[in-house]
Amino acid sequence: MARHSDPDLEARILQAARKLWHKGGESALSMRAVAKAAGTNTPAVYRRFRTREDILRALVSSYQQQLYKVMVRCKSPLDAAESMLDFALSQPREYELIMSGLLARMTDERPNFELMSRRCAEWFGGSPKDHEGLVFALWSLVHGIASLTITGIVTRKDAARSRRAFRKYVETIVSKVEELRGL
């Protein structure tokens, strides 16, 4: 009797991988664990994803798209920086995977970076290329405070103060760009 393909299996595998990643990070994500969590067997997982890294790539792409949907709605550089920070703090494991460098090893594309460069060109004028330095600076601030908070270096006691400092420095950088561009 011919085997019937399960059209939902790939989605179940990725959903299982998301849950495993969220719960335990990289150490929780094995092909066997994904198969069990997806309600299938390991060969079925291998037929859809040749390696564990293929699953990770799919997760990175998914999380990048999720962040993109948040970022595309932003109305200012400050809004974008705060939205990205909120994403990182609300989904630290997912943010960890996005920032792991896996995306850089798979492609030269940086969808969220490119989006922010385009949006800065809309907000300030010029071309997206003109604003790459600004985007790198904002991304660095976001990543720094996110990493410090996620790792616990910024304690709960210091969270509000660090958030105010973050906001102040983003506003300072943006005002300097506006000043330089004569806005």
- For 9-50, which CATH class? mainly alpha
- Kindly indicate the confidence band of residue 157, based on its pLDDT and cuts at 50, 70 and 90: very high
Distance CA 142, CA 82 (A): 8
Looking at the chain, which residues constitute the CATH 1.10.357 domain(s)? 62-180
Answer yes or no: is pLDDT of 1 > 50: no
CA separation for the pair 12, 175 (Å, rounded): 46
Give the residue range(s) of CATH 1.10.10.60 domains in the chain: 9-50
Each residue's pLDDT tens digit, 72-115: 999 999 999 999 999 999 999 889 888 887 666 666 778 899 99
- Angle ∠(137,91,72) on CA atoms, nearest 5: 55
- Report field, pTM of the whole predicted structure over 0.95: no
19: exposed, middle or buried (Cβ count in 10 Å: 0-12, 13-18, 19+) = middle
**What's the CATH class of domain 62-180?**
mainly alpha
End-to-end CA distance of the chain: 72
User: Minimal CA–CA distance to 162: which of 143, 148, 176?
Assistant: 148
